[in-house]
Amino acid sequence: MRCAYHRDYFVTLPASHPFPMAKYPLLLERLLAEGLVAPPDLIEPGEATLDDLRLVHTGDYLAQLAAGSLDAAAVRRIGVPWSAALWRRSRLAVQGTLEAALAALDDGLAANLAGGTHHAFADHGEGFCVLNDVGVATRVLQRDGRLRRALVVDLDVHQGNGTAAIFEGDPDVFTFSMHGERNYPLQKMRSTLDVGLEDGLGDEGYLDLLRRHLGTILGGFAPELVFYLAGVDPARGDRYGRLALSDEGLARRERHVLETCRARGLPVVLTIAGGYAPTPQRTAELHAIAFREARRIETAATGAGASCQRRHAGGS
Ligand SMILES: [Zn+2]
């Protein structure tokens, strides 16, 4: 599976900062060590262009990000101190999701080892999210005639409020968010379908709701591409999540989403979104589960050799 990654996805933050920035290099290290990703599968994104970013974000917000002139309240809302490196990182991650989406349209399945920054709105960032990668990637692909209808399956434990607001009223983009009802953001936006979950929900209740709603969505909406935000903050013991999925429950979740979409021939782009386990190592371990399931599904569907051949036949 082709994966977008850039070493500058990692930005140094103050030591006491709660965001687990180290999870990005740790996840890559783990995927390479397990053989789930091979070095030739890595796509190194450049920075998303301002023209592309303007398809979603306001000129004012982008100008302030570029100049480092956001006011203190705007920076507090993002929750990560502004730096030139953060601005660059945010554009790299948007481009990573776009590159992964293009790879998914060719190969069926691809990933960005970052992305899923679903709390970013057109005119501001919040909740550790600066730019909305899925929003921009969707609009770029639509502009370029590569895509009309997209489905966003957002299983991060927090509601995809920015994504919901960006696509509200757009019949070509179905936003599905399944999240902790009592979690941040307290004021929810309106996704096409929101499923708010009770605190403490475990594997069976969670998977039952997922199966039911994903089946209904795909019964009535025919996307050409699925963006999957595979946040691992619904895991038991997450610092912010209030749910209680086991590792096996997460594996079943990833298998279900990927198998259901791939069985219908839908290309899927996987973004990792949030995860706040007690250590960045553990967070990376939880993110790796989706890649293990993706490998299992690819191998079952085509065999490793066939997948390789198909990619080369596609000229990439
Ligand atoms: Zn989250």
pLDDT digits (tens, 9 = 90+) for 67-86: 999 999 999 999 999 999 99
Provide the β-strand partners of residue 2. 110
Other residues' Cβ atoms within 10 Å of the Cβ of residue 22 = 15
DSSP code string of 238-303:
-SS----B-HHHHHHHHHHHHHHHHHTT--EEEE------SSHHHHHHHHHHHHHHHHHHHHHHHH
How much distance in Å is there from the Cα of 213 to the middle of ligand 1? 20
Instruction: Say if pTM beats, i.e. exceeds, 0.75.
Output: yes
Q: How far is the CA of 196 from the centre of ligand 1 (A)?
A: 14
Q: How far is the CA of 106 from the centre of ligand 1 (A)?
A: 29
Cα separation of 1 and 302, whole Å? 12
Enumerate the H helices of the chain as residue ranges.
Answer: 23-33, 50-53, 59-67, 72-78, 84-107, 133-143, 161-167, 203-220, 247-263, 280-313
Q: How many angstroms does the Cα of residue 252 sit away from the middle of ligand 1?
A: 19
Residue in 227, 237, 153 with CA at minimum distance from that of residue 195: 153
Q: Cα(162) to centroid of ligand 1, in Å? A: 12
pLDDT for 65: 98
d(CA 275, ligand 1 centre) in Å:
6
Instruction: Report the pLDDT value the prediction gives residue 315, as an integer from 0 to 100.
Output: 40
d(CA 179, ligand 1 centre) in Å: 9
Encoded amino acid at 86, one letter:
L
The SS3 assignment for 14 reads coil
> Separation of 249 CA from ligand 1 center, angstroms?
17
- Alpha carbon of 155 to ligand 1 centroid (Å): 9
**Residue 107's pLDDT is what?**
97
Q: What is the pLDDT of residue 312?
A: 47
Distance 130 CA to ligand 1 centre (A): 14
Distance 237 CA to ligand 1 centre (A): 14
Nearest CA to 156 out of 129, 138, 122, 121 is that of: 129
Distance 313 CA to ligand 1 centre (A): 38
245 vs 95: CA distance, rounded Å: 31
Distance (Å) from CA 145 to ligand 1 centroid:
31
Q: Residue 118 C-alpha to ligand 1 middle, in angstroms?
A: 9
- Per residue of the chain (316 residues), what is the pLDDT tens digit? 999 999 999 999 999 999 999 999 999 999 999 999 999 999 999 999 999 999 999 999 999 999 999 999 999 999 999 999 999 999 999 999 999 999 999 999 999 999 999 999 999 999 999 999 999 999 999 999 999 999 999 999 999 999 999 999 999 999 999 999 999 999 999 999 999 999 999 999 999 999 999 999 999 999 999 999 999 999 999 999 999 999 999 999 999 999 999 999 999 999 999 999 999 999 999 999 999 999 999 888 876 544 444 444 444 4
